[in-house]
Structure 1
Amino acid sequence: MSSPPSLLIENYLREVSFWHVANIGLGCKLDPKLISAFIKRWRLEAHTFHLPCRECTITVEDM
């Protein structure tokens, strides 16, 4: 499970109106193996994931 940002930076995050973003996904279970697999397939120059089946791009609409 993910945890909230440190209390040491909470005020800074609130000051720049980023506190809500820092708390997205709290309570979600993250799969380290899945994350690692995606990182290995990320192509920075094209901002895409190259998967065995085809190329995948994450857009703003996907968020």
Structure 2
Amino acid sequence: MPGYKFVKSSYSGGNAGQECVEVARNIPRTVAVRDSKRPDGPVIVLGPTAWDAFRAGLVRSSD
């Protein structure tokens, strides 16, 4: 796995055991996403356009 530097999503709760998403944006033109409870588990890697579409879908679904 490249040198991703994951940070917890600002939408994730601060309590242990909650469902949390971590995102790494330190690699140019790449956004990596993983489950914070499975740091050695699968990583989804997206390009900027796919990431923007994913985020737009989340905003629409929360309206």
Same fold at TM > 0.5: no
The TM-score, its normalising length taken from structure 1, stands at 0.27
- Tell me which structure has the larger Cα radius of gyration: 1
Q: Which structure has the highest strand share of the two? A: 2
Provide TM-score, normalisation by structure 2: 0.27
Higher helix share: 1
